[in-house]
């Protein structure tokens, strides 16, 4: 690797990690795979990241920051219903399948890896807060049903849980739940949560 300032060198390692994740999956990311992808020494990677978990967490956080920035940039252009569907675009649109696959892999690793668990919690909390914001926004505009803060929070966690559950089932073809079926169910749940008539 040509000489780069420290921060650029660190970012080039993270970028290599993200390429490995896209190509091979979150669970297949290792220090060795990043060393090969970035054409750097093992020592250089360990200089910036003490463990694979640290590197995974940083790559994951950057993915999420990019997603959040893109979502928030155009949020004002869409209705509350459209924005919540945008948050769950990974289940609703085929071209977002990679993000949903990453989300599921992170959820699995979060069960046993504290650092990944911490990152997963932060991402989940962002989704929760964004959903609650949109439900409140719809309620204030008179286009969704009146409800309480507690109920809005429950609705947000339910949608997040359903997304994970249906994504897992459809990806493993369990109980004949196809990706298409999961997508339809998620749309229906979102509309139900906001008190929207799906026939409209």
Nearest to 62 by CA among 11, 130, 118: 11
CATH number at 122 reads 1.10.357.10
Segments forming the whole domain that contains residue 35: 1-50
Whether residues 66 and 3 share a domain: the answer is no
Does residue 175 have a pLDDT over 80?
A: no
Q: How confident is the model at residue 89 (pLDDT cuts 50, 70, 90)?
A: low
Give helix then strand counts, H and E, for the chain.
10, 0
- Which of 60-64, 67-71, 108-112, 166-170 bottoms out in mean pLDDT, i.e. has the lowest? 166-170
pLDDT at 154: 92
Higher pLDDT, 167 or 113: 113
pLDDT at 172: 57
Q: Does the predicted TM-score (pTM) go above 0.75? A: yes
């Amino acid at each position: 690797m040509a000489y780069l300032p420290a921060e650029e060198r660190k970012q080039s390692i993270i970028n290599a990690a993200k390429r490995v994740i896209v190509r091979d999956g979150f669970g297949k990311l290792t220090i060795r795979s990043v060393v090969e992808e970035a054409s750097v020494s093992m020592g250089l990677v360990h200089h910036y990241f003490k463990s694979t978990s640290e590197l995974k967490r940083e790559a994951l956080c950057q993915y999420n920051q990019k997603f959040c920035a893109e979502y928030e940039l155009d949020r004002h252009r869409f209705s509350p219903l459209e924005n919540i569907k945008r948050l769950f675009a990974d289940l609703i649109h085929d071209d977002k399948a990679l993000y949903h696959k990453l989300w599921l892999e992170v959820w699995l690793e979060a069960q046993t890896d504290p650092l990944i668990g911490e990152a997963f919690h932060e991402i989940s909390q962002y989704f929760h807060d964004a959903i609650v914001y949109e439900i409140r926004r719809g309620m204030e505009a008179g286009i969704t049903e009146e409800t309480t803060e507690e109920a809005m929070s429950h609705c947000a966690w339910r949608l997040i849980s359903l997304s994970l559950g249906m994504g897992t089932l459809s990806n493993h073809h369990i109980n004949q739940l196809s990706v298409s079926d999961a997508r339809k169910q998620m749309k229906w749940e979102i509309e139900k949560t906001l008190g929207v008539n799906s026939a409209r």
